A and B are shown apart, each in its own frame.
Chain A
Amino acid sequence: MPFEVIIGAWVATGLTLFIFTFLYEDNPIFKLAEHLYVGISVGYTIVKAYDTVIVHLIYVPMIKEGDWSLLVPVGLGLLMLARYVPNAGWLSRYAFAFIVGVGSGLAIPRTISSFILKQVEDTIRPLVTLLPDGGVTFTASLLNPASNLNAIILLVGVVSVLFYFFFSLEHDGPLRTAARTGILFLMIAFGAAFGYTVMARMSLLIGRFTDLIEFAGPAYGRPTFWLIPLVVGALILWSTRRRPAPPEA
């Protein structure tokens, strides 16, 4: 087993246990791990951003390869920093206007196409048939075993949920029934989302426990067995020696 892997296993085990101490109470060991996480994440991001942007995307192409056209985006980017100069703050508006304009222009048509038009098409298409003359005929039939029952349920769900968010007419009579059906579909959707969220959080916990079990092996020097008593001991020591909080006046 390489030495750096063993060191990594000890660090991972220790930090995992440090974080788990929060289950007892907020404490200095947890804070140490938390601050390390934030500090390392920010440090890593800054170093990667400097290396990727300044070195590989600006310095090398401009200075070494002579691609001076990059001065335009660099200048536009630098204009953003003008916000920190009170008298020149207005210059940053050009950069922001460019970003918002380009971003909206790229995102809006593609998002409408991908998430609205394509989804509307998929909701309706299984229920209809396109005729050779360009017309459309409704072909879905519950009496036909080949008919797509899921597509009908989806259509009912989509229409009823849309009715639920349709506030121009009072939800009364048939509209009330449609809106109530929409609520049912929404609840099912929220339930599914909640179930998946539980699964995701449990997956993280399973991952941590899997590592703790793996690192309990002799190949890594059994860091789990050594560090659990140390962390618990440190927690007990901190708990017994801390000063009681002063009574509130």
Chain B
Amino acid sequence: MRADVLDALARHAATLDESGFDPRADVSVDAWAGLHADLAALGLEFSDITALDRIDAVELVCWLLSSPSEQLSVRTSCLNDRLLAPTLSDVYPPAEFGEREVYDLFGVVFEGHPDMSRILQPDDATTFPLRKSFELAETPW
């Protein structure tokens, strides 16, 4: 792990875990945008943004690439009663579609996103199908 990246993680009170296959950093949702702005300034490249349903919260996972071949996953947690996170699309423009996908499938709303609409499901869809609470039997065929 690069020293400047470690500095940025420490500045935003992120906990680093390097025991897994790829290093992961957990950060609070308030520091989410600031940390990514710093990491982008250090030259880290955006790879993907996705999410995991942790029953009581939705965990956002942002994959970053650092040359030549280091991968870092930055994670944050949005509690179920406040599924709201600042957008990364102003830091990483390609995150726009990824965040729309996370919204479409998990229901996390990104503040400051230019177009927070459905991307995979029809515009009139009302469900978030990748949530654990989603039951297929309720789908009106």
Determine if chain A interacts with chain B. Answer: no
Interface residues of B (CB under 8 A from A): none
Interface residues of A (CB under 8 A from B): none
